[in-house]
Amino acid sequence: MAFQYRKVLLIGATSGIGEALAEKLVADGTFVIVVGRRKEKLDSFVNKHGEGKAAAVELDITKLDRIPPAVSTITSSHPDIDCIFLNSGIQRPFDFTRPETINLDDLEQELTTNYLSFVHLTRYLLPILQKQSRQTSIVYTSSQLGIVPMVRAPNYGASKAALHHFVLALREQMKDGPGNVNVVEIFPPAVQTELHDAKHQPDLKNGHQIGIPLQEFIDSTWTGLVKGDEQIAVGPAKDIFDAVEPTRQRIFRDLHAQLTKVLQDFLV
């Protein structure tokens, strides 16, 4: 089986998982529009692969007001996008035993990057997928810490839990919505990327060595993408997913059915 989408918009493509996924997609013959903050990295990607295989858009997704015009520019140039990856993410430690050390601006930036920006992007990007006559997909990079939190990074886990709940509800909505939009969620474990580097988490030494090798993660994720899986949990994250999510999602579906019945008499 092959990856079925031919033009991918990949947001958060200048490092780590996003950059490696972009490389994998181009190698597979998929045209990739890479999006991120670091223009030099974006330009390098396009120069490496050529304009026949890649394009780039500079965008800081934490500047929420810049998302609508950026999406308008992208979709006018590439109206045939059939798959979107939302992949950006940052992780910060917060120790509330010493509340005076908590930088609330950093906490807010983490929440905006990992969750709010994804919601804004979904709002403005879904219409292009819904217009397509064929199957399309929107793919979210979540985390095993969205299922079970880590004490060291409480806000990161909370932001990923918010994203996970959003994706579950969105997938259910899309079943009855216009278009043929498949909603996919990827659950990485810790992966060896710059997410844990000292510039992001200065109390860690050699943080980029934490987790499974990046290529191992990409290979496993790619297998799930090619199979068309809606939920792709990799490595140690699969153990957590299998222990928690079947029960959680059964309860979610049951509750959704119950509330749908209850609300029928109240909806206008």
Distances in Å between the Cα of 87 and the Cα atoms of 34, 37, 63, 69, 177 are 11, 13, 16, 20, 24
Residue at 191 is within a domain? yes
pTM: 0.94
Longest CA–CA span in the chain (Å) reads: 58
Residue at 98 is within a domain? yes
C-beta neighbour count of 264 within 10 angstroms = 8
The rounded distance, in Å, linking the Cα atoms of 108 and 137 is 29
| pLDDT value for 2 | 81
Residue at 1 is within a domain? no
Residue at 104 is within a domain? yes
| pLDDT value for 104 | 97
Token output for 97: 């035993």
CB-hemisphere CA count at 13 Å for 70?
A: 24
Bridge partners of 85, per DSSP, are: 10, 139
The rounded distance, in Å, linking the Cα atoms of 221 and 215 is 10
Residue at 150 is within a domain? yes
- Per residue of the chain (268 residues), what is the pLDDT tens digit? 689 999 999 999 988 999 999 999 999 999 999 999 999 999 999 999 999 999 999 999 999 999 999 999 999 999 999 999 999 899 999 999 999 999 999 999 999 999 999 999 999 999 999 999 999 999 999 999 999 999 999 999 999 999 999 999 999 999 988 889 999 999 999 998 776 666 666 777 766 667 799 999 999 999 999 999 999 999 999 999 999 999 999 999 999 999 999 998 888 7
**54-58 and 181-187 strand pairing:** unpaired
Domain with residue 142: its CATH number is 3.40.50.720
Q: How many domains does the chain divide into?
A: 1
The answer to whether residues 128 and 140 touch, using CB atoms and an 8 Å cutoff, is: no
Residue at 2 is within a domain? no
Q: What DSSP element (H or E) covers 35?
A: strand 31-36
Question: Domain range for residue 27?
Answer: 7-264
| pLDDT value for 88 | 86
Residue at 198 is within a domain? yes
Residue at 43 is within a domain? yes
The answer to whether residues 140 and 168 touch, using CB atoms and an 8 Å cutoff, is: no
Output the CA torsion sign for 227, 21, 23, 56: positive
| pLDDT value for 201 | 65
